[in-house]
């Protein structure tokens, strides 16, 4: 019997859904960790200096993760 998918695996899978759109704009997103429902990511490439990356993070990435991964409450970007 296969063990249930962990929240970390679910987050990684969900990030792969949105990653191509981010990469099309010259950026990237890297999973860092998850603790207590808070997912931490690192924004790379053009995302690091983009003035609208906080909007993408909250309205794009966070919304997707909250819909697809039970228990995710927030997504926060940290510096590499």
Residue 50: the pLDDT is 86
Beta bridge partners of 75: 39
- 70 domain residue, yes or no: yes
Q: Which pair of tokens denotes residue 34?
A: 């998850």
Identify the band that residue 1 occupies on the pLDDT scale cut at 50, 70 and 90.
Answer: very low
- Domain range for 28 is 7-78
CATH number of the CATH domain containing 22: 3.30.300.130
Please report the pLDDT score of residue 26 as a whole number. 93
Is position 33 within any domain? yes
Residue 2 has what pLDDT? 45
Report pLDDT digits (tens) over 28-70: 999 999 999 999 999 999 988 888 899 989 999 999 999 999 9
DSSP string, 7-34: HHHHHHHHHHHHHHHHHHTTEEEEEEEE
Asked if the structure places residue 68 within a domain, the reply is: yes
Which residue shows structure tokens 């019997």?
1
- 27 occurs within a structural domain: yes
39 belongs to a structural domain: yes
Q: How many domains does the chain divide into?
A: 1
Kindly report whether the global pTM for this prediction surpasses the value 0.95. Answer: no
Residue 1 lies in a domain: no
């Amino acid at each position: 019997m296969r063990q249930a998918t962990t929240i970390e695996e679910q987050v990684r899978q969900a990030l792969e859904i949105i990653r191509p759109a981010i990469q099309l704009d010259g950026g990237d997103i890297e999973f860092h960790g998850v603790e207590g429902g808070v997912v931490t990511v690192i924004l790379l490439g053009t995302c690091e200096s983009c003035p609208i990356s906080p909007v993408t993070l909250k309205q794009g990435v966070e919304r997707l993760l909250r819909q697809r991964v039970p228990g995710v409450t927030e997504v926060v970007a940290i510096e590499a």
